[in-house]
Amino acid sequence: MQDLWRLSATDLAGLIKSRKVSAKEAATAALARLDAVNSKINAVVDHRPAEVLAEAAAIDAKIARGEDPGVLAGVPVTVKVNIDQQGFATTNGLKIQKDAIAKDNSPVIDNMRKSGAVILGRTNCPAFSYRWFTTNLVHGDTKNPRDPSITPGGSSGGAGAAVAAGIGHIAHGTDIAGSIRYPAYANGVHGLRPTVGRIAAFNAALPERTIGPQISAVSGPLARTIADLRIALEAMSGFDVRDPWWVPAPLQGPPREKRAALCLNPDGLDPVPEVKAAVADAGKRLARAGWTVEEVADTPPLREAADWQTKLWLGDSYEAQLAAAEREGDPGALACLNGNRSKVFPFDAAAFSKALTRRATLAREWLLFLEKYAVVVMPVSGELPFPDHLDRKDDASFTRVWKAQLPQIAIPFMGLPGLTVSTGLVGRVPVGVQVVSGRYREDLCLAAGEAIEAGGTPSAAIDPAG
């Protein structure tokens, strides 16, 4: 049973529920895998083995009593270091928050534990979770297990690297501009950004977030299979009174015709040929699975939505964010803020009002588009995963990175769900596609994602590359 860490979360939970494997055996295997490979990639930056084993023992005791352990029965999962876990620092990759010890759990941790998950460890992110690369001054540099010369993604780079390398079966991440979808893409796994309001969020250890993040940032899962994303979403989506934005939406919506829009070049993104080929291939996989696939010349606006999202994310309280970044002294965080200054500052009351007004208009356009199509399939990024730390090379490289990420930045402005499906490799560099659907229709994203996944090579945990 030493290779339990290789199993999907769905299969492992089934074995534990049927008592063919104990939660303690699963946790022991997960801890051994962490010990074996984490030093090569620095994905997990904080974990306490004795607590992991105690959590697993509690799951085994629950099963022995004949109680339902939950959908994630004994499955080891990782959580990002920017959410509250009781007794741990909510660092968000910051020296200045290394003593922000959480007194309570965030809702997503409580909900996963109620569903039987065992929290294996906490994963790395860039300072302030600002970048599509993962390094900081408190936890260090995370490496992509497929190729250390390319980014592991960000901001949930530790999450993506961990699940790709078999450290945990599901990883928690957060996403305000691609921070789940891009690490999934870069590490060759799958990642779901749910609809705003689907998964309850709150960090008591930190100040209340400004309105932009409140209406666009979400928690969500990364995993090696779409089926595992499905059970992770169920586990994470429970009610928690601490989040006033939480919505009691059903996980399964009304039936829809299997009709997909395929857009190779949304809003002038001009993707590289390998990215276009991946999107076209995903369309063929959907068609073979019985979907009606219609190639469209364009989608509703993405570029304007991305500009407004950047303003809401970085422009609101820009001076306070810059002062904090200067106190921290993190080069990547400062590059992000200084590189975007002319686009987001000053952000006055009139601009703020216009942003929220345009949000309603653009969201409506997208929702009307998604009445015609159950899903739209498009690039995650205009490029293959970047060379690591490309955004800090020079001004042209910084601009190149932000330009390529247009499809990721835009979708949160409308509050829509987005799914990254890994579709294959170009050499040893991963590639994939983004699937977007209407609000609270993650089920449609996942249905299309399963069809795309089934048409390719099954995902599996990998040993970190040298």
Got the DSSP string for 264-292?
SSGGG----HHHHHHHHHHHHHHHHTT-E
> Which residues does residue 424 pair with via DSSP β-bridges, in sequence order?
431
Query: Exactly one of 17, 22, 24, 80 is catalytic; which is it?
Result: 80
Q: Cα separation of 71 and 77, whole Å?
A: 13
Q: What's the Cα-to-Cα distance from 349 to each of 301, 312, 362, rounded to whole Å?
A: 24, 12, 20
Question: Are the CB atoms for 448 and 230 separated by under 8 Å?
Answer: no
Q: What's the Cα-to-Cα distance from 105 to each of 83, 200, 242, 411, rounded to whole Å?
A: 8, 12, 11, 28
Q: What is the pLDDT of residue 367?
A: 98
372 part of the active site: no
- Buried b vs exposed e over 89-119: b needs ≥16 C-beta within 10 Å? bbbbbbbbbeebebebbbbbbbbbbebbbbb
Q: What is the pLDDT of residue 349?
A: 95
Residue 286: count other Cβ atoms within 10 Å of its Cβ.
24
Query: Which residues have C-beta within 8 Å of that of residue 363, sequence separation ≥ 6?
Result: 413, 414, 415, 416
Domain range summary for the chain, segments of one domain joined by +:
4-454
The ranges of the chain with pLDDT < 70 are 1-2
155 part of the active site: yes
Question: Are the CB atoms for 123 and 139 separated by under 8 Å?
Answer: no
Question: Are the CB atoms for 185 and 67 separated by under 8 Å?
Answer: no
Instruction: Tell me which amino acid residue 285 is.
Output: R
Smallest Cα–Cα separation from 40: which of 135, 151, 161, 203?
A: 161
Q: What's the Cα-to-Cα distance from 40 to each of 103, 145, 203, 238, rounded to whole Å?
A: 31, 8, 30, 35
Q: What is the pLDDT of residue 459?
A: 84
Query: Exactly one of 179, 219, 381, 422 is catalytic; which is it?
Result: 179
Smallest Cα–Cα separation from 172: which of 107, 240, 91?
A: 107
Homologous superfamily of the 4-454 domain (CATH): Amidase signature (AS) domain (3.90.1300.10)
Query: Exactly one of 8, 22, 155, 216 is catalytic; which is it?
Result: 155
Question: Are the CB atoms for 425 and 205 separated by under 8 Å?
Answer: no
SS3 content of the chain, % helix, strand, coil (to 5): 45, 15, 40
In terms of residues, how long is the chain? 466
What values do phi and psi take at 127, rounded to 5?
-55, 130
Q: Do strands 190-193 and 418-426 pair parallel, antiparallel, or not at all (unpaired)?
A: antiparallel
Query: Which residues have C-beta within 8 Å of that of residue 385, sequence separation ≥ 6?
Result: 144, 150, 151, 153, 185, 186, 429, 430
> Which residues does residue 422 pair with via DSSP β-bridges, in sequence order?
432
Locate tokens 């970047």: which residue?
386
